[in-house]
């Protein structure tokens, strides 16, 4: 190998359904040659005479077309992972398995080897179910976090009469821990976690506290993208108790200057523990953007539609320390 250069092995992506099927036979590794593999779009770039690997970006989103109706967030949730993948990033994408998602039409399948653990929230066990589907045109897989109590046969934010779910904070906690535990099982180490929407708002807090010693997240940076909707934290009487897990506790929250009794505390929690903030929808979260700036957290204001992919890629590299 030439002096001054590093070389990285080719990254291979296993299709989860086939991995799951093979795992039931015994040792997955023995059968890996029979699994259909796909070379990742993990491209390489030269910088200062070194060959460096492109960024690994974990998208933790709330909405994505075609699984839920179109909205600014759902469109971004669909387009941005593909755009960054096409620009050389290696990606993984997660979203909740909302009750409005048609499993048969969208061909969702449970991944047995990733399912099965229980997540304890406020002394109650909640089974974690992982499902997966593919967007063939984009060559992307989407992982779905599911649970009968929090997502199955339920809407995204509120009842049909518009009344906000009182357990939205608990749902966000379950989703965050479900995603992070699944990424650990995948043995994948993201450089950046991109959080989109209120359902992902607890992820930054856990990355900087409960999961900070995990090898998968030891060097991970977190970006939060802010949109209009944010739950009223006062509807959750035991917010602090729901959050507690390892080093994620009330003391860590207080140290960051976040008051969990305030209506906007979920948004403030996301901002305070993020390494970068993106204005996902212009003019919807001005107060949170100002809060981020007061904490000297880098902020990307909403770019024009035609500039989004390039702007987001540059911001990811900035936050990751490229």
Residue 220: predicted pLDDT: 97
* 76 or 29: which leads in pLDDT: 76
58-70 pLDDT, tens digit per residue, is 999 999 999 999 9
Q: Which residues of 94-126 are buried (b: 16+ CB within 10 A; e: fewer)?
A: bbbbbeebeeeeeebbbbebbbebebebeeeeb
Residue 210: predicted pLDDT: 97
Banded model confidence at residue 84, pLDDT cuts 50, 70, 90: very high
Domain 54-320 homologous superfamily, CATH:
Glycogen Phosphorylase B; (3.40.50.2000)
Q: What does the domain layout of the chain look like in residue ranges? A: 1-53, 54-320
Stretch 274-298: mean pLDDT, rounded?
A: 96
33-47 pLDDT, tens digit per residue, is 333 333 333 444 444
Q: Can you point out the beta strands (E) in 280-317? A: 299-300
Residue 286 scores a pLDDT above 90: yes
Residue 219: predicted pLDDT: 94
CA angle, 144 then 145 then 149, to 5°: 135
Residue 18: predicted pLDDT: 47
User: Which helix (H) or strand (E) element contains residue 182?
Assistant: helix 168-186
């Amino acid at each position: 190998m030439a002096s001054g250069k590093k070389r990285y092995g080719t990254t291979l992506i296993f299709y989860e359904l086939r991995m799951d099927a093979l795992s039931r036979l015994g040792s997955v590794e023995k059968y890996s040659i029979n699994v259909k593999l796909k070379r990742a779009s993990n491209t390489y770039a030269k910088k200062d005479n070194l060959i460096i690997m492109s960024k690994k970006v974990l998208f933790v989103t709330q909405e994505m077309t075609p699984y839920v109706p179109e909205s600014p967030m759902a469109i971004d949730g669909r387009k941005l992972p593909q755009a960054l993948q096409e620009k050389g990033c290696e990606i993984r994408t997660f979203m909740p398995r909302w009750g409005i998602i048609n499993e048969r039409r969208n061909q969702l399948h449970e991944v047995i080897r990733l399912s099965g653990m229980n997540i304890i929230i406020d002394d109650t066990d909640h089974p974690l179910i992982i499902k997966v589907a593919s967007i063939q045109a984009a060559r992307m897989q989407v992982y779905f976090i599911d649970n009968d109590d929090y997502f199955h046969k339920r809407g995204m934010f509120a009842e049909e009469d518009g009344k906000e779910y009182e357990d939205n904070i608990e749902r966000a906690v379950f989703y965050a821990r479900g995603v992070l535990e699944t990424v650990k099982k995948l043995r994948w180490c993201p450089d950046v976690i991109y959080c989109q929407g209120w359902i992902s708002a607890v992820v930054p807090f856990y990355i900087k506290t409960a999961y900070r010693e995990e090898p998968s997240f030891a060097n991970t940076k977190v970006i939060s993208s802010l949109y209009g909707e944010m739950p009223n934290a006062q509807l959750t009487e035991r917010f602090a108790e729901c959050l507690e897990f390892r080093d994620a506790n009330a003391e860590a929250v207080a140290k960051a200057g976040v008051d969990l009794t305030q209506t906007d505390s979920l948004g403030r929690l996301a901002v305070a523990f993020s390494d970068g903030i993106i204005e996902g929808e212009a003019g919807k979260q001005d107060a949170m953007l100002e809060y981020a700036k007061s904490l000297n957290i880098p902020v990307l204001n909403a770019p024009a539609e035609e500039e989004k992919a390039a702007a987001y890629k540059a911001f990811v590299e900035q936050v990751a320390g490229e």
